[in-house]
Structure 1
């Protein structure tokens, strides 16, 4: 399968200028066919008008690169992350609004979208269930690797039963969770409270608690979590 993967990515990351050059018609056609053969096409249905929100934290297709079996490909393409479907969508230009082409899910295919590294790996959900999906790498230290998982969750319509209750339309809501892997173990959710973060470090919890207090860190913020784990690399 590996040669087919290579043809797929060659076809996807060819520039339009290269496509227009004479003498490359056969080569481009074959690459495009390989792309079609391997790319997953995901059936899309229009979103009902009454649903608020979107599948995306960023609806624009951004410049993206790929690591393929540990090798960084030099060319660039355009991708965005669908946080409801947990998929990476691909496009030929940044001006596209829709795409049914989805990057094949594999831990050997690592997209970098807008500078963020998306890893398709096993992790534990908040309810303890095992799940394989995309996590974005935030920090890789001596003992801990920190990720962020950004999800869009669909909420059904809530009808007000009385005049004292507020109705809510069907909508997509944000669900953002920090995950931590310790010494290569399966990533698990981190409780983003001062107590939850400090107690994560067990015998070093007092050091972390004092560090958070001394630096006036808000552990609800991603940058603060990164600073805590950078500090934890010192012990």
Structure 2
């Protein structure tokens, strides 16, 4: 498991307990890598305190807030095992889905088991507007429609190995995993309420991520350059 965390002091321990419970049901051997993305609250203290009770938990702390994509990359670099599951630390990615992701992967038919949003839950109007803005920018300028996609997914070690070789500086994890072309299946899930606090995404943050996504996956600048030449 890789769980990026930013200012989740109030809910991270509950999330970890739920994750551990469902991992014990589904796997005989497991680890959790929690990456604190420079939280300004007490998240790091909560994580390290919990790690003292759970030997399978490893805690990493970035020197400052680099953003979720950087925290994801750090976690994937550190993770071991035959497969890695990435999930958020706010309980909106339901831990109860973990056994389904693992059992689907164990069939050997898929390298990626992706959890996709069948509904967006009871998110606020502002959050829904931010998400719509992000996907509209991405779809308009890159041609990739990732509506409903999430970072909640299981990746076979073959996918992780390929991801590490690319060494991208500006990472859009969700798009990059889709772009790599490995055998993929989807499992629907309902977005649960946040266990505590508010989303760390601002409108500016989502626009910045959209710019990274567009420049990573759009061929429009190259096409324009060739036409003018």
TM-score bin, normalised by smaller chain: under 0.3
Q: Which has the higher contact order (CA 8 A, sep 6+)?
A: 2
Q: TM-score, normalised by structure 2?
A: 0.22
Structure (1 or 2) with the larger CA radius of gyration: 1
Task: Name the one with the larger strand percent.
Answer: 1
Task: Name the one with the larger helix percent.
Answer: 2
